[in-house]
Structure 1
Amino acid sequence: MTIGAALSEGLQVTIVGLAIVFAVLVILMFVLMGMKTLFYNDNSKKEQNTPSNSNKTLPQAANATAKSAPEMDEGELIAVLTAAIAASLNTSSYNLNIKSYRRVGNALPSWSKAGLTDVINSRF
């Protein structure tokens, strides 16, 4: 077998191998897209269409206000934050004075979240 024939055969094997790999990847992509349409439940649309219940417990109310925070004014947001902090500290909201607040994204690594939680807990 000459060098040219060996290179030609090697090129054919490479092309067939790449074609098989990409064909399997495309098949996997379609399988995952199909599984997404079958098994994915979009709860955010259901929650937006359901009427709000005024008899919510504090964690549910805080969770609902966190989702609709851009629509509420700052007074309501500060009241909800004060109530949540007072409930977690088992104290009255009259003893608390919130000076400022800012949103913290969820893009932090887990070690950073653990450190932030440790610093917050060490202050109380």
Structure 2
Amino acid sequence: MKSLLKLWRRQPVLTSAFLLAMALAIFFAGRTIFFVAYWSDPARQDLPPEPWMTIGYVAHSWHVPVEKLARDLDLPPPPKDGPRPSLERLASERGQSFETFKTEIEASLAELRRQGPAQ
């Protein structure tokens, strides 16, 4: 700890930059570990669509490309940034009940799963 203080006194800007870089590295490493642990949990795989989920969440759970799932459902690809609508909201925007929309999603998921990763 004394050597860090000595370094701080001699090179405060460089030491601050180093500490900031280390903090960012730790943050992103922790975030990566969290996401890997979250999506590796078998309880999060192949979940049936629920009203609160988004298209991206369902696609990630089923290991299918979100763009293909959205295309199969005649939806625009989900935005990279910003809010993503829930399945319930998408169903109401389409003038459908959630159960009808859920049936379409499940059929699309089955077809994408049948096609496999090569397509």
TM, length-normalised to structure 1: 0.34
**Based on CA coordinates, which of the two structures has the bigger radius of gyration?**
1
TM, length-normalised to structure 2: 0.35
